[in-house]
Chains A and B, each alone.
Chain A
Amino acid sequence: MVLFGCKKTIDENIRPFNDKADVELLSTLDGLSSATNGNYALLVTSSASDASYDASWFNLSELKGNNLYAVTRAFPQTRDDAYTYANSPSQGATTSFWRVSYRIISGTNKVIDAVKDGEDAAHDQIKGENYFLRALAYFNLVRIYGRPYYQNNGDNPAVPISLNSLVNKDFQPKRNTVKEVYTQVISDLEKAAALMNAPRSGNPNYYASKEAAWALLSRVYLYMGGTPAAPQNTYNTKAAEYADKVISSNKYTLITGTAYTNAFNSDSKTNKEFIFDFKHDDANGNFINEFLAPRDVFGNPWQGEYTASPDYMALLNQNSSDLRKNFITVENDKRISGTDKSRNTVNKYNYQQIFPLGGFDFSAKSRSGTSYLRLAEMYLNKAEALAKAGNTADALTALNMVRTRATAPVWTTASLETAGLTVFQAVFNERRLELAWEGNSSFDNFRNGLPLSRSYIDYFFSAPLTIQPDDKRVVYPLPLVEIQLNPNLQQNPQ
């Protein structure tokens, strides 16, 4: 009797206080909401062994582009791996990025499986948000590990698709193709857009919404839209359509003037242009400044290994009144080898550096949000899609919305001709100017069949670098440890 009582107590009555079992948590709306917040939190939370998703994402996306210039070797050196196209399967950011991506996917699978369809608007909204986050994770994965969509008609290997919340150790799927992943992303986003009908109060831009799903659909279709030489206009039309849906929702505005020049170094909550961003706060700071800002909170030189590239500055300086110049500070950096030690520090994200935790941690994290989808991109998506489809007039209208806002002269057919640019080239340059350091540069080149070229030399390269879109280094290797744990994963050629 006594023994039975003890056993029962131990098995049933003694439960943990700090944690909750999955089945228990996901049985209530509030629990589902916490679990969903957890999936958002994974976008910005670093754990002991994994860098935070936003930091890995910046590392793997932006550093492959040509908007940055390496001043010195980074510390830790893994931060150079993408920039130098070394693409190490063990030393780079690939392991953290892969792991956290699939944690997000598993987290969303849990919630999606737990919510029955059509329960009520609140449940639908939660389910829709998880569809959105899952699509976001897969879309970023397919961009990092899968070759551009136009190549081999999307039949190249991408990443394995996992949609079930009850996987076990025997789950060892093969890589799905690029096309299959895109199809999954579109399917998730369409469900997301349909389900999210009870937006969170105040329409916060750091939670997913119907418009965010449309905006991401616009980008996904744009990536499927082929190269200017061989456009896939069914997709380009879709890209423009979804961009228009976002624009015409009238929920977002292009911020102008000084509000714009401070848009990224102020609380992202108030940013009227953001459709979706990752929110950072004291607990989950934005690591981007560790790449870009060359000093710690005490003002001592520390990290900040990258500045705006000379190429980028040349493009930006074409127009002296461009508001986007305000994102750059010219200063001195002793670490630059050579006589000219001036650097173009990107201060775009320098909002409230977080006081180092524990007193003496040389970190320069900020509270700036990670911009993921914003209205300016919608105009640029539309412009690019229309330009590829040959609709020059409407393309220019969309493009000039962004030009005007940055107080740059509008492009006209005439001025383009004078400058010797096609509409596509103008849109392409504008995209680079406007969306710099938001993780687009290398993808925009490669998906359009263009090489990524850096016409400058820096700490690492003694000759200008050019990477062709069919170079094997365009995509990242899969993490070695994941291949060991799942032998069905086939490594990218290195």
Chain B
Amino acid sequence: MLRLNQTNMNKILDTLRVMKLIVCLLIISFQASAVAFSQSITLNEKNASLESVIKKIELQSGYSFFYKIDLLRKNASKINLSVKNATVDQALEQTLSKQPLTYIIVNRNVIIKEKQAETGEKKIPEVKRPVKGRVTDGKAPLPGVSVRIDGTGIATMTDGNGNFNLDLTPGTYRIVFSSIGYESKRIETLVLNDDNAEINVVLNPAIAQLQEAVVVGYTTKKASEITGSLQTFNSRELEGVTSNNLISLLKGKIAGMYITEPSGDPNKKASFVVRGQGTLPIDAANVRVTNNLNPLVVIDGIIYSDVMYPSDIVSSTDIETVTLLKDAASTAIFGSRASQGVLVITTKKGVAGQSQLNINSSIGMSQRYLGKIQFMTSQELYDYQRQMLLNSFAIKTENLTQDAYLAKYLPPASVLGTNTNWNDLLYRNGLTKTLDMSLSGGNEKTRYYFGANNYHEQGPSKGNDLKRNSFKLNLDHNITSKLSFNANLGAIFDKGDASQVTGSPTLLPWFTPDNPDGTPKKIMGSDVLGNPSQNPLYDLPYNSAITNTQQVLGVFSAKYKMYDWLTLSSNNSYNTTFITTNTYQDRLSLSGAANKGSLIQRKGNSYSFLTSNLLTARKQFGLHTIGGIGGFEYNKGGSEYNTLAVRNMPTGIKVPAAASEAWNTLSGKSFNGEKFVRGSYSLFTEGNYNYDERYFANASYRMDYSTNFGIDNRAGNFYSFSGAWLASNEQFLRRNKYLSNLKIRASYGTSGKIAGEDFLTESFYNFAYQYAGDPAAIINQLGNRQITWERAYVTNLGIDLGLFNRISVSADFYRKHNTDLLQKVATSSLLGVPSQYQNIGAMLNRGVEIVLNSRNLVGKFTWETGLNLTFNTNKVEKLYGGQILYGNAGIIKEGDNIASIHTVKWLGVDAQTGMPQFERLERDPVTNAITRKIVNTLDDVTKGLTGSDVNMQNQLIGNTTPKFYGGLQNTFGYKGFELSVLLNFAGDYMVYNNSRSSYFASEGNNIIKYNQIKPAAGQVIWQKPGDQATEPMIYRNRTDGADGTSSRFWEDASHIRVRNVRLSYALPTQLISAIKLKRANIYVSGDNLFIFTKKGFYGVDPEGGLAGDQNNYGIGAGYGASRKYLLGIQLTF
């Protein structure tokens, strides 16, 4: 029963009235402003009537105008006006400034009305005084800035040099300066009858740039329209660290991407994972399946599904913007390859106007960073060995007197005359040089960008080197006003020498590499145990491991604008890469002697063709904006390689023809080679809608059909839904002084990950076998007709907040559920192959990402802060057989973090005996209760135990990936100076310091063999009963496993790294304009300057192992990221 009382009835009637009004408004606005989406107004009017100007603004703006037509028609003024890309507000301001009219804007409705009658006093004309001023962005003048006197119609614009003039009667005024992309600024000024001082204003770039365009893959959206989770960087924001690798540039700046650089070798690329590992390790023996954790790379709208690292295909100097798409709302449109995120890159393009030449160059050096490690001198090591030998003698005399014992195991005292610092000999100050140039320009019809880049980095390890040359040409041509054409050509040439010196700084300090006459020694000598040491520098002039990469890329696109709201475009790309690796060992070198010189040459080629065809629509109906795309793609790619190995070669001739023998080192053969091919096609669509820039909705769908998957399961479907509410555009918040932006986003969707190589669907004979010299084929794969994509189901909630026009905060909460993870599953041998790939595993990643930007100080002295912070937790939900063996991390079970570490627990040192202590868990067979016992040898931990009782001894001690990580950047500016300091940090994780067993050994024989490091603060070696030591007594021939694998060498790697410090100075415009320079910056920059680590970390660099690689440790005493110092210059002509 429904009973209506009067109040309810009134409410309903009210509602109906409102609805009617809305419908009317909709119809009106549909008729009035069914125009293309465009808010910027460009007018060039001379002696125009007011009516015609207003009509033009109305047409261009898409706003609805309400006015009495007589107000305009009766106005006889002729308007002279020139605005370009102005806002509605600016255009109206200028048009009406000298008219008795004013306007208000409400929700895209413009109402024009008469000005209030002015008061009597003000009618008395007063003498106007000129007020001059200049607007800059702190460095360069800003033209076209709207300068408006608040509360009046008086306004003007700055000219090309940022100057403006106003005539004002004396009094106090509030002047408002506004320009697109910059924050508006109000200043109070007193206009006097005397000469007025020049008003100089600095506008700051707006941080909550809701109008800024963001390239999100297939489309470009206004930032306000984004419903997903993403983070964008422009080329200026990438400045800082010197590297040719984009990923290294993002480190410390990007949230949600864990980046690790565990090597100082410039040829080794940073590895990275977006929002946690979402795939399982695959048996490395099967090359068909790869463990790629990297996000998908998309450049200028082209998917490069086979490219692992963006730097493989684009030079970072040519990059205009980089956007990381993190959640399904943004990635689902990329379908089966996007579950690890998508990196969308746009390259630089020419801009119509005067041509511009940019030259950037820097020079500097890279050094090895040794952290807290200090190696002993000859004297120190000698004394240390002596102490160790006295301990050993006390345990076992070997029937010798103490003196005889020492004489036997100590080197002669004469060694103390030599003290070689091996670190200094093996490492160098590497040279880093960069030079890049770009020339861009063009006109309305044709625009061009040409970039050339030369990069040369020497690693600190001698012999280690990388050279890169790249070229890029980007041409845009408008054939007609509707049809345009783009050609984007690029080439990259890399030459990397991966060779490094073979020794480590743990060589004994009394060895020398050279004979007294300066010739190098082959064998430098032996330790007292008779182990010879080769000269690690001997091979350096002879051997090399050089990789030459040639990458050629071409993209040809055409765009046809069928209607204002509908565009048809076609992108066609072909890229090909040639890689040649020559590993040469000269017959005169130590390592090449056995083969009398050898060469392994590997040549590979890969190619990919993609055609991507898109229909893009966008139309606005009053407050409603509807947009969408529909697309079709076809991709075919492949790769091929072959390798040959030869030996017995004359010295220095590094070609196969010079060899006299085949070398059967490639699985018993002197050659091998394989060839792969794959193909896919896709259909995809996306629709988006927004109401009044307040409510946003977006949905996408993609179908991928690929050779990668089961013949019965070749089509994969992916979708997403997302929405956002831009609360700050609501009436009640629009005028809020403090809140400049408030947006809430939510999304859900799916994406996938392909398995790597193709054709897992069929049972295959493979030919990589032989019998008695004849070719042989073996079934090595049992087809799985159902095999399919690994899937990710991602939920994301985000909030964007802008405060005081100074602070912006974004927070994202995500839940990424990866299912159908591929695992090798055992099958009964009766099927002929022992295992098969099946979609079995599942994993869950959850996390929070926070990005904060703040302009703490504006004005003469500026200070900006950027902070990002990411938390991620991982849980393995389902595994074949409930557990997997995961390299050094031990056994991972369902419920564990994939990066968790399980090992025997180290319980320190027995204060009375100096013996190591380990924890043994014993289970009562009846009650299952666990008791913890201390044992003194590693073997005793598992002694007498079987099965799960053995596994139980490997206890959870931590994770190899950080629970949280992030970065903090502070930028200070004063006049032309700018200082930026970037810190990055990672917390709550561990790395295994595998060098400690050699350079900080408890085993005495290692102390005899290797140079040792001095104990760091907090490390105490046991010497006598009662010592509260952290390290056991040192002695020879120990069997207690003190240096074995236990939690002892897993160290807390939490750290803060001073990633980059950069001081730059922009030369004053007056100074440089004389030599036709538009910009001249000089800077000094330092990378990896210092690392703050926890007390419990004793290695060189706490950087974690390669992401997702369970077999690599962090850096113990190894070759960490190098410390770089550079001096650079940036010139714009």
Within the complex, the shortest CB–CB distance from A300 to chain B, in Å, comes to: 12
Interface of B is mostly: strand
Which chain A residues numbered 81 to 126 have a C-beta less than 8 Å away from chain B? 98-99, 101-103, 105-107, 109-110
Task: With CB as the reference atom, state the residue of chain A lying closest to B757.
Answer: A16
B674 touches A20 (CB 8 A): no
The interface-forming segment of A2-10, A223-231, A342-350, A419-427 is A2-10
A34 touches B767 (CB 8 A): yes
A6 touches B681 (CB 8 A): yes
B759 touches A19 (CB 8 A): yes
Q: Which of A16, A25, A37 has the most CB of B within 10 A?
A: A16
Chain B 732-766 per-residue mask, 1 if CB under 8 angstroms from chain A, else 0? 00000000000000000000000000110011111
CA distance A170 to B286 in the complex (A): 26
A171 touches B777 (CB 8 A): no
Which chain A residues numbered 51 to 89 have a C-beta less than 8 Å away from chain B? none
A204 touches B674 (CB 8 A): no
Of the candidates A48, A106, A167, the one whose C-beta lies within 8 Å of that of B779 is A106
Inter-chain contacts of B414 with A (CB < 8 A): none
CA distance A284 to B664 in the complex (A): 12
Inter-chain contacts of B766 with A (CB < 8 A): 18-19
Of the candidates A3, A6, A98, A110, the one whose C-beta lies within 8 Å of that of B829 is A98
A48 touches B283 (CB 8 A): yes
Within the complex, the shortest CB–CB distance from B600 to chain A, in Å, comes to: 11
Of the candidates B283, B675, B777, B831, the one whose C-beta lies within 8 Å of that of A34 is B777
- Asked if A417 is an interface residue, CB under 8 A from chain B, the answer is no
A45 touches B767 (CB 8 A): no
A47 touches B285 (CB 8 A): yes
Inter-chain contacts of B826 with A (CB < 8 A): 481, 485
CA distance A16 to B764 in the complex (A): 10
B669 touches A357 (CB 8 A): no
Within the complex, the shortest CB–CB distance from B682 to chain A, in Å, comes to: 9
Which chain A residues numbered 343 to 391 have a C-beta less than 8 Å away from chain B? 354-355, 357-358
Within the complex, the shortest CB–CB distance from B737 to chain A, in Å, comes to: 55
The interface-forming segment of B29-37, B622-630, B768-776, B813-821 is B768-776
Task: With CB as the reference atom, state the residue of chain B lying closest to A40.
Answer: B771
CA distance A394 to B835 in the complex (A): 52
Inter-chain contacts of B762 with A (CB < 8 A): 21
- Asked if A486 is an interface residue, CB under 8 A from chain B, the answer is yes
A35 touches B707 (CB 8 A): no
A357 touches B667 (CB 8 A): yes
Inter-chain contacts of B664 with A (CB < 8 A): 282-283, 355
- Asked if B632 is an interface residue, CB under 8 A from chain A, the answer is yes
- Asked if A244 is an interface residue, CB under 8 A from chain B, the answer is no
A38 touches B778 (CB 8 A): yes
Inter-chain contacts of B771 with A (CB < 8 A): 37-38, 40-41, 44, 206, 279, 284
- Asked if A42 is an interface residue, CB under 8 A from chain B, the answer is yes
B759 touches A171 (CB 8 A): no
- Asked if B951 is an interface residue, CB under 8 A from chain A, the answer is no
CA distance A173 to B828 in the complex (A): 11
Task: With CB as the reference atom, state the residue of chain B lying closest to A101.
Answer: B829
B830 touches A14 (CB 8 A): no
CA distance A388 to B396 in the complex (A): 62
Within the complex, the shortest CB–CB distance from A140 to chain B, in Å, comes to: 14
Which chain A residues numbered 12 to 44 have a C-beta less than 8 Å away from chain B? 14-22, 25, 31, 34-35, 37-38, 40-42, 44
Of the candidates A11, A17, A282, the one whose C-beta lies within 8 Å of that of B677 is A17
A485 touches B769 (CB 8 A): no
CA distance A102 to B711 in the complex (A): 27
- Asked if A468 is an interface residue, CB under 8 A from chain B, the answer is no
- Asked if B833 is an interface residue, CB under 8 A from chain A, the answer is yes
- Asked if B972 is an interface residue, CB under 8 A from chain A, the answer is no
CA distance A48 to B678 in the complex (A): 26
CA distance A447 to B772 in the complex (A): 33
Within the complex, the shortest CB–CB distance from B137 to chain A, in Å, comes to: 50
- Asked if B668 is an interface residue, CB under 8 A from chain A, the answer is yes
B828 touches A16 (CB 8 A): no
- Asked if A248 is an interface residue, CB under 8 A from chain B, the answer is no
A37 touches B777 (CB 8 A): yes
A171 touches B765 (CB 8 A): no
Within the complex, the shortest CB–CB distance from A360 to chain B, in Å, comes to: 10
A16 touches B773 (CB 8 A): no
- Asked if A270 is an interface residue, CB under 8 A from chain B, the answer is no
Within the complex, the shortest CB–CB distance from A53 to chain B, in Å, comes to: 12
A284 touches B668 (CB 8 A): yes
CA distance A8 to B833 in the complex (A): 30
**Known: A34-B765, A38-B778. Contact between A103 and B829, CB under 8 A?**
yes
Task: With CB as the reference atom, state the residue of chain A lying closest to B675.
Answer: A17
- Asked if B100 is an interface residue, CB under 8 A from chain A, the answer is no
B829 touches A281 (CB 8 A): no
- Asked if A162 is an interface residue, CB under 8 A from chain B, the answer is yes
Within the complex, the shortest CB–CB distance from B1053 to chain A, in Å, comes to: 30
B707 touches A17 (CB 8 A): no
- Asked if A197 is an interface residue, CB under 8 A from chain B, the answer is no
A7 touches B681 (CB 8 A): yes
A171 touches B758 (CB 8 A): no
- Asked if B371 is an interface residue, CB under 8 A from chain A, the answer is no
B665 touches A358 (CB 8 A): yes
Within the complex, the shortest CB–CB distance from B712 to chain A, in Å, comes to: 12
Inter-chain contacts of A102 with B (CB < 8 A): 829-830, 832
A17 touches B831 (CB 8 A): no
Within the complex, the shortest CB–CB distance from A441 to chain B, in Å, comes to: 27
CA distance A288 to B722 in the complex (A): 64
A103 touches B834 (CB 8 A): yes
CA distance A301 to B769 in the complex (A): 31
A50 touches B779 (CB 8 A): no
Of the candidates B676, B765, B772, B781, the one whose C-beta lies within 8 Å of that of A35 is B765
**Known: A20-B765, A34-B776. Contact between A10 and B681, CB under 8 A?**
yes
Inter-chain contacts of B829 with A (CB < 8 A): 98-99, 101-103, 482
Within the complex, the shortest CB–CB distance from A239 to chain B, in Å, comes to: 29
- Asked if B890 is an interface residue, CB under 8 A from chain A, the answer is no
Within the complex, the shortest CB–CB distance from A87 to chain B, in Å, comes to: 15
- Asked if B636 is an interface residue, CB under 8 A from chain A, the answer is yes
Within the complex, the shortest CB–CB distance from B740 to chain A, in Å, comes to: 48
Inter-chain contacts of A11 with B (CB < 8 A): 711, 714
**Known: A281-B772, A485-B826. Contact between A3 and B681, CB under 8 A?**
yes
Inter-chain contacts of A35 with B (CB < 8 A): 765, 777
Inter-chain contacts of A171 with B (CB < 8 A): 828, 830-831
Inter-chain contacts of B768 with A (CB < 8 A): 18
Task: With CB as the reference atom, state the residue of chain B lying closest to A483.
Answer: B828
- Asked if B143 is an interface residue, CB under 8 A from chain A, the answer is no
B834 touches A41 (CB 8 A): no
CA distance A45 to B765 in the complex (A): 15
B765 touches A106 (CB 8 A): no
Inter-chain contacts of A167 with B (CB < 8 A): 830-832
Within the complex, the shortest CB–CB distance from A99 to chain B, in Å, comes to: 4
A41 touches B778 (CB 8 A): yes
Of the candidates A50, A99, A279, the one whose C-beta lies within 8 Å of that of B772 is A279
CA distance A44 to B763 in the complex (A): 22
Inter-chain contacts of A99 with B (CB < 8 A): 829, 834
- Asked if B827 is an interface residue, CB under 8 A from chain A, the answer is yes
Of the candidates B668, B777, B834, the one whose C-beta lies within 8 Å of that of A49 is B834
Of the candidates B680, B765, B828, the one whose C-beta lies within 8 Å of that of A19 is B765
- Asked if B103 is an interface residue, CB under 8 A from chain A, the answer is no
B774 touches A37 (CB 8 A): yes
Further pairs besides A42-B778, A172-B828: 4, Cβ < 8 Å = A19-B766, A22-B779, A25-B777, A269-B772
Q: What are 16 A-B contacts with C-beta separation under 8 Å? A: A7-B681, A9-B636, A10-B705, A10-B706, A10-B707, A16-B759, A17-B677, A22-B764, A40-B772, A98-B829, A102-B830, A103-B779, A107-B832, A169-B828, A206-B771, A482-B828
Task: List 4 tightest A-B contacts by C-beta distance, closest first.
Answer: A283-B668, A106-B832, A48-B285, A37-B776
- A residues with CB within 8 A of B: 2-3, 6-7, 9-11, 14-22, 25, 31, 34-35, 37-38, 40-42, 44-45, 47-50, 98-99, 101-103, 105-107, 109-110, 160, 162, 167-169, 171-173, 204, 206-207, 269, 279, 281-285, 354-355, 357-358, 481-482, 485-486
